[in-house]
Amino acid sequence: MFLVCWLVSFLHFAILYCSSADILSPAENISKVFSDLLRDYDNSIRPDHAGPPVVVDVNIDVLSIDRISEKEMEFTIHCYFRQKWRDKRLQHSPHVNGSFLELNAQKMIAEIWRPDTYIRNGKKAFIHQLTVPNRFIRMRNDGYVLFSQRLTITARCLMGLRKFPMDRQLCPLRIGSLAHSKRDMSYRWFDIKLYEPEKNELGQFVLTYINKYEEDVSFYLEPDGYASVLAADFVLVRQQGYYILHLYLPTCMIVVLSWVSFWINKEAAIARCSLGVTTVLTLTTLRLGVRDELPVVDYSTAMDIFLIVSFCFVLAALVEYIIIHYSNLQRMQRLRRRRTQAEKEQAISAADDNSSRKKLRDATTLSSPERQVLKPNHRPAHNRPFLLSNAGKRHTSGKSESGALLHHLPLLRRASTQERQSNDDSEEVRPNLAPRSAGETKIDQIDFWAKVAFPAMYIMFLVFYWIFYIFVT
């Protein structure tokens, strides 16, 4: 009897010892359990094959949104991507390493079935490898499997840029199965959120919220089938501070600078033309530099409208001076023609005056013998009969010459009148050549009204622009 009791006690302690040995070797037990689970396991067949669909719960913790490219129409997120499903073939005893098995070895991860999840609108993605591949699997004893990865995903985001840079973008993320329809695999959202919600400012954008939902889309492998798809829309509002400092303010300053030409003398053609051309080229360079960040689209953005209107104002300031310069040249040509005509008329009047004076001198010379006849003692007595005989003749000729002199008096008066008129014309030409003529005053009024009209119209445009794009649209 004593021997029997001793044998029973020995066997009991031996069993306890063996059990304690197994507990002290969890790695060996995990390997043994995993090997036992995979003994008849086929990782190419989904759980519950030919049965109900596998339900895959997806959880995404967004660490950051690294890049949003308008030109490439894409955005890049850095996230923890987790999937959970149940595989009854992987159920195991609960006493092994607590309630779950943790598999970090890539060989073990590759030996179990995993959903063929892919990003439907993805362009590229990679798993972080620093310092080891950032993924692991946990298997609970009831068969639930948690598969976690750290990914960087670049997805396509079709952006509407009509209100750029006052726009709000909605960038989607579409998740689904590559080769299974809804009859084989169904996806559900567990959650998607920012890992650090307080850090929602992403450079130019602010992430306002994430709208998640589930949808069914047509499955390309089955004409009558549907695929389960998870969708998450990242609603991003663009920050305008960068564009106000680097686009709107410089453009407004260039436009205002172009108005300085209205205060420059219209005779300073080099200064005004240089200022106009410089502002036009500067604004063109600024527009091309900002436009390089955007894709080629077939519509105008809010930025394009602002830059085009501002460019028109700058160009109009240059055209305004061209009009003034051309009008001033026309005025000067008219003045030169009038002066040339006045000089010609003055020369003709002077020639007529000289001709009249010459005729007057000739007439005066011809009438001088008559005065000699009136002096009888001027000649000797023996000559007086001859003089007297000729006196009648000369008296007669003297009368005719005096009549000729009287005939030339109106011509002298007319020459004197023409001389006075030519002097008056020369006096009229001088005011036309003065710096403040009537034509010049009209030209200066163009600059005056430009000083008022250009700022008023541009301010009206700015008010309408901001009201329309901020409040109306």
Q: Based on the fold, state whether residues 214 and 247 are members of the same structural domain.
A: no
Q: What is the pLDDT of residues 423-437, one digit of tens each?
A: 554 444 444 444 455
The overall average pLDDT reported for the chain is 79
Q: Based on the fold, state whether residues 210 and 335 are members of the same structural domain.
A: no
Q: Is residue 153, in this structure, part of any structural domain at all? A: yes
Q: What is the pLDDT of residue 248?
A: 95
**Domain of residue 292, residue span:** 241-473
Q: Based on the fold, state whether residues 222 and 280 are members of the same structural domain.
A: no
Task: Answer with the one of 208, 224, 239 that is the final residue of a domain.
Answer: 239
Q: Based on the fold, state whether residues 187 and 286 are members of the same structural domain.
A: no
Q: Is residue 23, in this structure, part of any structural domain at all? A: no
Q: Based on the fold, state whether residues 219 and 306 are members of the same structural domain.
A: no
Q: Based on the fold, state whether residues 162 and 256 are members of the same structural domain.
A: no
Q: Based on the fold, state whether residues 104 and 159 are members of the same structural domain.
A: yes
Q: Is residue 2, in this structure, part of any structural domain at all? A: no
pTM above 0.75, yes or no: no
Q: Is the pLDDT assigned to residue 375 strictly greater than 80? A: no
Q: Based on the fold, state whether residues 224 and 253 are members of the same structural domain.
A: no
**Run of H or E including 325:** helix 302-366
Task: Answer with the one of 239, 258, 281 that is the final residue of a domain.
Answer: 239
Among 114, 125, 120, CA closest to 147: 114
Q: Based on the fold, state whether residues 129 and 252 are members of the same structural domain.
A: no
Q: What is the pLDDT of residue 399?
A: 45
Q: Is residue 3, in this structure, part of any structural domain at all? A: no
Task: Answer with the one of 205, 239, 273 that is the final residue of a domain.
Answer: 239
Q: Is the pLDDT assigned to residue 53 strictly greater than 90? A: yes
Q: What is the pLDDT of residues 228-238, one digit of tens each?
A: 999 999 999 99
pLDDT band at 224 (very low <50, low <70, confident <90, very high): confident
Between 236 and 399, the higher pLDDT residue: 236
Q: Based on the fold, state whether residues 196 and 128 are members of the same structural domain.
A: yes
pLDDT band at 396 (very low <50, low <70, confident <90, very high): very low
Which residue(s) pair with 81 in the sheet? 60, 149
Q: What is the pLDDT of residue 360?
A: 64
Q: Is residue 7, in this structure, part of any structural domain at all? A: no
pLDDT (mean) for 208-225: 87
Q: Based on the fold, state whether residues 96 and 40 are members of the same structural domain.
A: yes
Assess contact for 54 and 48: CB atoms under 8 A. Answer: yes
Q: What is the pLDDT of residue 204?
A: 84
State how many domains the chain has: 2
The DSSP output letter for 245 is: I
Give the CATH number, domain containing residue 420: 1.20.58.390
The DSSP output letter for 53 is: P
Give the CATH number, domain containing residue 152: 2.70.170.10
**Run of H or E including 229:** strand 226-238
Among 69, 61, 60, CA closest to 205: 69
Q: Based on the fold, state whether residues 157 and 260 are members of the same structural domain.
A: no
